[in-house]
Each structure stands twice: as structure tokens, then as C-alpha cells.
Structure 1
Amino acid sequence: MEIIRFAELKPRPWRNGGGVTRELARFPEAAGDESWDWRVSIADVARAGAFSGFAGMERVLTVIDGELLLLTVDGAEHPLEKYRPFRFSGGADSAGALPTGDIRDLNVMTRTGAFKGYTSIIELSKKRAHPVFAGQFGILLQGQAAVSTVAGQTADADSVQAADAGEPLGRYDAVVGSDTGTPEILGRGFLAVVSIDPVPEHPAN
């Protein structure tokens, strides 16, 4: 079972000085900046301004702390409220404004035609474990939770005790999914489930 601890991630300042990004994962891992096929990161946005362009990429952006990001994409304004994922082209002319103050957002970027990224926000339960499968990341956004490899999705008293004795998660810690010994998360709060699916190749006509 692999857990990416948010507190151990190195913040990387933006070139325009408007915020910092902490990268959770990328593929391939050894790829240089902007040569990866997908990336999952968390950014702190402290100042309004233009977003960096990522031509050939698709982005799913979700505000995970703070109230509102006013995102402008190719001249159209989109008010992004907390926990509402928004998909747009990485190559679009985009900028963000902060009418209610600083925000933190979750970014999922995938190379168009190779991968497709999805973000879902779910409410955790202490009675029903949430599994995290291969190709997924479970990121604790709020609350208290623990992760274990308890078999089955419906937790009984014994499995709840096992999960409580498992690995506790801090805020923004990410659980890497697996189909072997699938990690399962129990607790109270909100979880972001990021799924990255390969795009099947289409046979030539």
C-alpha cells in the first residue's frame, strides 16, 4: 500500500509568482517538465493572473480550499465553487481571479488522445469503506480517515477496527490505488477520487 504524504511534497513556486504547486504524481515519473503524459498536483493560488499554457493537454481543476475561483477560459467566465470539478483545454487562454481570497486547487492534467482524467468528490463513511483501484488516487480533502487493505467494501465491526488500526491519513495525503490488496478508506469527511484512464487506440478504417 502506497501513501503520498502531502507534508513531504516540495512546493515549487510559479514563474509569475502567483502561487506554488506540489506535485503528487506524474507519468512517466522520469519525464521532464511538460513532457509527461499525465500529472496530478495541488496548487496554492495567492494572486490573480494568467495560467500557464499546456498545449495538447486537458485539465480538470477543482477548488479544494477557499470559496471561489473565477476562471476565464478563452474569454468566457466560469465561477468555480469548492468541490466542483471543471474540465477545460490546457492550451486555452486562461486566467484566474480571486474575488473571495486565496484558494487551493487540485489539478489533473492528461495528454489529449492518450489518457483521460476524472475527478469525483465523495463523502466518506465510517460504515462503508471506499476502495481505491489501480489507476486511481484517493486524496483526503477534509476530515479524519484511515486506510487499510480490508477485504470487501462493506465494513463490519471487525473491519472498522482493523481500519482504525491501519494507516491514518493527514489532510491532502493521497492513497495510490491497486487491484492487488486494494486499499480501502474509512472515516468522516470528503475524499477526492482521481481516475486516469488510458484512451484505447482506434483501429484504422
Structure 2
Amino acid sequence: MEIIRYADLKAEPWRNGGGVTREIARGVADDGGTAGSSAAWDWRVSIAEVGKAGEFSAFPGMERVLTVIDGELFLLTVDGVEHPLEKFRPFRFSGGAATAGALPTGDVRDLNVITRTGAFKGYTSIIELSKKRAHPLFAGQFGILLQGQAAVSPGAEALDRYDAVTGSDAETPEILGRGFLAVVSIDAVAG
């Protein structure tokens, strides 16, 4: 188990100046990467702060799951079709699609899961935490505290907003608290 503190993550500005991204984690296939890939990673989990409407960077050969985690509404246009994204509702789309975002109700923060098509599949679920029943995190999973108060065991270490916990099958971390947790799963595609 590892706790990734959001406060320690470096903000990387976007090329278009519309926001910043903080990378939580990234990974490559066991074979060292996908043959012929130009990217240094096969999957990535990050949180972006969007402060200006504009086009998204293209990620050809990738699939994206975007979830608004702060803010009311994000209008995402993918290949000419507008999709209104509300808080805590994951949306999957092609990373190579022509994509742009608009901010009709103000700035948003979103959770991004990007995976290389054919190598990995990413999933995002939003769960309500309980003080009575712990939520376990297994290998290939990340738990990100979106709202409320929570602690992770073993050790009952307190989590701050947007802190992430890596899952493990050997010593499965469990999260207790009140609020909402994003559970991101990165699954290798059998091939």
C-alpha cells in the first residue's frame, strides 16, 4: 500500500494554457511497453484543473474515462457530439477523437484515466464511504478521496481531499469514512 498525497503532486501546465494536470500514477505493459508506441506509458491516472474552454490534447490509440470531481457541469464535445458531464458521472471516449470542453458554470476539476487500447482497460466507479464497513482496494486499483473524511488501514492514516491509495492483494488497504471515493481499476487486457 502507498498513499500518494495530492499536495505533493507537481502541477504540469497544458500546452493550450487552459489548465494544469497532476499525475497520480502511470504504468507500462510488463513487456516494457507496447511495440511501436511513442508514449512513455500505457496507462495514466491524473487530476486536471480546467480553467478555460478549449481543445483537448489528442491521445491516438488510447481510451479515456473522464469524471468531473469538482464543479457543476462540463460540456465535452467529442467528434462533434456534445456531452454534458455532471459531477461524479464517469464518461468513456476515444483518446484520438477531436475533443473540446466548455465551462458553462465555471471552472471544473476532473479525474482522468487514460489507457492504451488493446493493452489495458480503465474503469472509474464512485462509491459512498461508510464508517461501519471498510472499502478494500486490490492490486491494480487506486482509491482517491473526492469528498469528506476518511482513513486508510492498516494504520488508520488520515486522507486529505484528492489523496490516492494504491491497492494491494498482499496487504489489502481498507478505507473507512464519510464521503465519496473514486475507485479506479486498471486491468490488463488478455492477449
> Do both share a fold (TM > 0.5)?
yes
How many pairs were matched up?
Answer: 186
Match of 1:181 among 165, 171, 174: 171
Q: CA deviation at 1:34?
A: 3.1
Compute the TM-score of the two structures, normalised by the length of structure 2. Answer: 0.94
Report the TM-score when normalising by structure 1: 0.88
CA distance in 1, matches of 2:142, 2:38: 21
Alpha-carbon RMSD: 1.6
**Are 2:52 and 1:62 equivalent residues in the alignment?**
no
- Alpha-carbon distance between aligned partners in 2 of 1:191 and 1:36, rounded to the nearest angstrom: 25
| 1:117 maps to which of 118, 122, 127 | 122
Q: Alpha-carbon deviation of 1:111?
A: 0.1
After superposing on structure 2, the runs of 4+ consecutive aligned residues of structure 1 that deviate more than 6 Å are 29-33
2: CA distance, partners of 1:33 / 1:139? 29
**Retained in 2: the 8 A contact 1:63–1:105?**
yes
Task: Work out whether residues 34 and 54 of structure 1, in 8 Å CA contact, stay in contact via their aligned partners in 2.
Answer: no
User: Secondary structure of 1:7's match?
Assistant: helix
Shift of the alpha carbon at 1:47? 0.2
CA distance in 1, matches of 2:119, 2:109: 27
Q: Write out per-residue CA displacement over residues 87-144 of structure 1, whole angstroms, 9 at most, x where no aligned residue.
A: 0000000000000000000000000000000000000000000000000000000000
Alignment of 1:81-160 (within 5 A): 81-149=86-154
> Could you tell which deviates more after superposition, 30-39 or 95-104?
30-39
Task: Tell me the SS of whatever aligns to 2:7.
Answer: helix
Q: CA deviation at 1:166?
A: 1.5
Candidates 152, 156, 159, aligned match of 1:169: 159
Q: Is the 8 A contact 1:69 1:96 kept in 2?
A: yes
Greater C-alpha radius of gyration: 1
> 1:33, CA displacement in angstroms?
8.3
C-alpha contact (below 8 Å) 1:130/1:184 kept by paired residues: yes
- Closer, same or farther: CA 33–170 of 1 in aligned 2, 3 Å: farther
Runs of 5+ in structure 2 lacking a partner? none
Identity of aligned residues (%): 79
